[in-house]
Amino acid sequence: MRSDRVKEGLDRAPARSLMYGTGVPESSMKRAHIGICSSFTDLIPGHTGMRELERFIEKGVHTGGGHAFIFSVPGLCDGIAMGHKGMHYSLPSRDAIADMIECVVEAHALDGVVFLSNCDKITPGMLMAAARLDVPAISVTAGPMQSGVYRMQRRSFVRDTFEAMAKCRKGEIDEQEMSNLEQCSCPGQGACQGLYTANTMACLTEAMGMSLPGCGTGLAGSAKKKRIAFDSGVAICQLVEKGITARQIMNEKAFRNAVIMDMALGGSTNTCLHLPAIAYEAQVPFSLELFDELSKTTPHITNVRPGGEFFMEDLDYSGGIPGFQQRLIDMLEDNITVSGRTVKEIAKSAVIYDEDVIRPVSNPFHKQGGIAVLRGNVAEDGCVVKQAAVNDDMHVFTGKAICFDSEEESMEAIKSGKIEDGMVVVIRYEGPKGGPGMREMLAPTAEIMGRGLFHVALITDGRFSGGTRGPCIGHISPEAAEGGTIALIKDGDDIAINIPERSIQLNVGEEELEKRRSAWVKPKPKFTKGYLAKYATRVSSAAQGAIFKTEDFFS
């Protein structure tokens, strides 16, 4: 066992002594040492229930014959960090989490790890660490939040807070109604109720085979989730015994299956950052083109918020990810999973309880998958749009640019009524390097939707929350801070967006663009000290997953 390096032989007497000091019994020196990497925090509703899940995982580990050790990594809530300096730290925290896990698992020579996570950057950060370390690993995502209820209507976080703010500013609802919505939209523990980034990543983690069946949609606080946590503790001991490591599961087939599931679900565009980052650590070839390739052949077979009206609880009650695997069985590649069963074995045993929530592939909500990758002179290296959340009349659109060099500038203009139908809002210098940290633009997009501006597009080198809906195009690469074309756009320029043809074009002549390019001046860094300053100097483009490429450190 890996842990023998800290517990076997005379030279390890000091290490054993320190472990005895924690209360480890002598008998456990013969057991597998299993880490439970928890992101519990009181700061995030998605994580407040994890103390109970830690206990159930721990019980499972000891039942399975191992000895459990809980350690922690931090968690950030994008909804709380949104719209101010804090959001710069969200995406960078993903890589910091992976690094911290590497430090603990290697320093303590753990034999396997159960990763307990839930929210946006934490789940992918943990999977990156699992792939990098290539130890036996299993993921337990803490689960979606139940829908809120107010005035006998189901409520969700994004629709009933972010978008409601715009209605309040317009006078459509009063401040008391706004306060009531705030208090009812998030009724308790769990990840926000739609296919936003947290729940999308939980579903894709299960689709990759890194979680037990039912984990991706099992609701936070439920007895079902506790049973999954317990069973995951038992399963990690079996993975250690069999020598099945993370990369054996997270292979090329697993990533293709994850993208197919993403397209069928209509998940968050942030998967275009996280799946490439995990694949890089797993040493699996992966490019942005895979999303577009599989989107063209994978139907969108559910319609969960933000684009539709279903909630995550509907997915769970209707059959969960195994139900989707059954629908997609002919498209998926068979592969091993942490459960000991293969993908297709799980699919064949699934039961679907609602034919509309999990539709047959012959009767999809949309013939193509949720995400499209666009290219053109605005984004030579690509950009992404959640096409399943775009109204049909906005799939082809040409509008006049109105440009902002930060999210804050754009918000001031939107709130003051300067944005009108027919415009393309351009928000730049918010990319991985220029932001730094590639902030999410949920506040501007929600404000636009809340104001009823359904014929306004928004493009950015930043990114979007999974809660964004409408013609919002992010991850534009090259980004403005690297001199990408988005930096050269001027107010009044025509920008043509054609999602079916996968194009985004600035209708300005090449000669004029060259003049603008020669006059462009690289901006000074926004942060010159601390983690963000270090992050900005080394992070790759959004098209590569905004990762730290190890080979770049030695070039």
Residue 1, pLDDT score: 93
Domain of 138? Answer: 2-15+30-146+188-349
Same domain (yes/no): 264, 398: no
- Does residue 22 lie in a domain region? no
pLDDT digits (tens, 9 = 90+) for 113-159: 999 999 999 999 999 999 999 999 999 999 999 999 999 999 999 88
Cross-strand partners of 144: 191
3-state secondary structure of 186: coil
Same domain (yes/no): 209, 321: yes
Contact (Cβ atoms closer than 8 angstroms) between residue 38 and residue 52: no
pLDDT at 552 over 80: no
Q: What is the CATH number of the domain that holds 328?
A: 3.40.50.2300
pLDDT band at 383 (very low <50, low <70, confident <90, very high): very high
pLDDT band at 468 (very low <50, low <70, confident <90, very high): confident
Same domain (yes/no): 162, 117: no
Going by their DSSP bridges, the two strands 112-117 and 32-38 should be labelled as parallel
Cross-strand partners of 150: 153
- State if pTM tops 0.85: yes
- Does residue 367 lie in a domain region? no
Residue 306, pLDDT score: 85
pLDDT digits (tens, 9 = 90+) for 387-442: 988 999 999 999 999 999 999 999 999 999 999 999 999 999 999 999 999 999 88
Q: Which of 28, 39, 410, 465 is catalytic?
A: 465
Q: How many domains does the chain have?
A: 3
pLDDT band at 71 (very low <50, low <70, confident <90, very high): very high
- Does residue 355 lie in a domain region? no
pLDDT digits (tens, 9 = 90+) for 488-510: 999 999 999 999 999 999 999 99
Q: Which residues are CB-neighbours of 434 under 8 A, at least 6 positions away?
A: 428, 461, 479, 480, 481, 482, 523, 526, 536
Same domain (yes/no): 377, 427: yes
pLDDT band at 360 (very low <50, low <70, confident <90, very high): very high
pLDDT at 520 over 70: yes
pLDDT digits (tens, 9 = 90+) for 6-55: 999 999 999 999 999 999 999 999 999 999 999 999 999 999 999 999 99
CA distance linking residue 210 with residue 462, whole number of Å: 29
Same domain (yes/no): 458, 520: yes
Q: Which positions make up the binding site?
A: 78, 120-121, 440
pLDDT at 166 over 90: no
- Does residue 529 lie in a domain region? yes
When mean pLDDT is compared across 58-72, 237-251, 465-479, the lowest value belongs to: 465-479
pLDDT band at 529 (very low <50, low <70, confident <90, very high): very high
- The percent of residues above 90 in pLDDT, for the chain, comes to 91
Query: Residue 215, exposed/middle/buried by CB under 10 A (0-12, 13-18, 19+)?
Result: buried
pLDDT digits (tens, 9 = 90+) for 184-242: 999 999 999 999 999 999 999 999 999 999 999 999 999 999 999 999 999 999 999 99
pLDDT at 83 over 80: yes
Same domain (yes/no): 168, 203: no
pLDDT at 545 over 80: yes
Same domain (yes/no): 212, 249: yes
Residue 131, pLDDT score: 98
Same domain (yes/no): 445, 419: yes
Residue 555, pLDDT score: 60
Strands (E) across 387-506 are located at 396-404, 423-427, 457-460, 472-477, 494-498, 503-506
Domain boundary among 185, 204, 235: 185
Same domain (yes/no): 243, 192: yes
- The percent of residues above 70 in pLDDT, for the chain, comes to 99
pLDDT band at 551 (very low <50, low <70, confident <90, very high): confident
pLDDT at 365 over 80: yes
Same domain (yes/no): 398, 294: no
Same domain (yes/no): 174, 201: no
Concerning whether 28 is annotated as a catalytic residue, the answer is no
Same domain (yes/no): 390, 285: no
pLDDT at 553 over 70: no
- Does residue 550 lie in a domain region? no
